[in-house]
Amino acid sequence: MHRPVSFSNYQDFKKFMINRLPIHTYYSTAYYSDPRVPMKDKEWLGADLIFDLDSDHLPGGEGLPYQEQLKLVKKKTRLLLEDFLMDDFGFQEEHIKLVFSGNRGYHIHVRKKEVLSLPRSARREIVDYITGTGISLSSIFPFEMVTVSTFKEYSKSELSYRFPPSDRGGWSRRVIDLIKYALRRWNTMPKAEVIKEISAIPGIGKKTAVGFYDELYEQGKWKHLIEKGRLDDLSESGMVNQKHFLMIFEEVIKDHSINELSLEFVGTTDEPVTGDTKRLIRLPTSIHAGSFLVVKPIELEDFYSFEPLEDAFINTSEDKIYEIKFDSLPDEGSVTLKGKIYEFEERMNVPECLAPFFITKYQAKVL
């Protein structure tokens, strides 16, 4: 490890890289008044807000073939970009820099004046928001007092909860989507399975679970909930009133579903990376020694068509051929590189531009 190093011009940087030939190259995402002075004397001016998505961190991603990992992490990166950073936080394309990590994922850099000076605590709150940490139904469901009965000059009022307006975004929309999904899903399942699933929620017994099923599905109230977006069909005297309904879904959310939903939307972003104000991250346009792919900057408009195993190889000869061999064949059977399918065999002929990938990623040897 050789750090810290600073350069006053590109030529000095290029000379350093050629002479040192580093296996991995990282740079600081922080800004300093004078990067050349010792670390203790640096004046910190700010730092990019960084999101690091890696297929190894995605549920089920680790067991997938490499090509499938890349597809999955690209999907999650797109959702993080569109659903959270651009929709919820309102960042514009000019604020966002996207980089393929060179191996299993993507780095997102947010460079906007208002976020550069954010402390660690604020950056952690952003991660909490994205992962749905601390979501509460009481903060999502609006309510009002409605009159349910009158007698002479007396009237009885009850709380009436309703779904948030359809145009509300953020986690309000996502939680309502989750509730509607759960209601529809339970309608397709056998009664015994629904009762077993609900009664397994901490604090919900079998009696309440049976009452929940009977009131919502035997009486068909689940459809009204979705159509009307109100909970006042659930009477205060019923086995599952509005309070019980919210309690059941509060437990579902606290237990696992919000976490699962956040993973469905974005996978997981590496919290230590996002929360760090002095983070080192791979240098764009450098080579990743674990794959020999380029740590490649990507324009957002090109992201949807970007394919790492086509677009991130170094620009070397496709005519010069190398013979390689495997001591142990990869489990995948084949891999598609630059539009061509390569079936794994004990000995293979591959072009120069792909040989380093087979060597670093699949432990091939050059003959």
Catalytic residues, by residue number, are: 52, 54, 270
Using only the alpha carbons of the chain, give its radius of gyration. Answer: 27
Buried b (16+ CB within 10 A) or exposed e, 128-165: ebbbbeebebeebbeeeeeeeeeeeeeeeebebbbbbe
Which token pair is 282?
């791979």
Which token pair is 274?
């996002």
Q: Give the Cβ contact number of residue 278 at 10 Å.
A: 13
Cα–Cα dist 204/244, whole Å: 9
* Ranges of H-type helices in 287-366: 300-303, 308-311, 355-362
Looking at the chain, how many residues does it have?
A: 367
Give the containing element (helix H, strand E) for 234.
Answer: none
Amino acid letter, 132? G
Question: Alpha carbon of 319 to those of 76, 342, 347: distances in Å?
Answer: 36, 16, 18
Amino acid letter, 294? V
Cα–Cα dist 158/106, whole Å: 50
Cα–Cα dist 230/214, whole Å: 18
Note whether 26 and 280 are within 8 A (CB): yes
**Sign of CA pseudo-dihedral 289, 292, 298, 301:** negative
Give the containing element (helix H, strand E) for 15.
Answer: helix 10-20
Edge-first strand order for the sheet with 96-100 is 49-54, 105-110, 96-100, 297-298
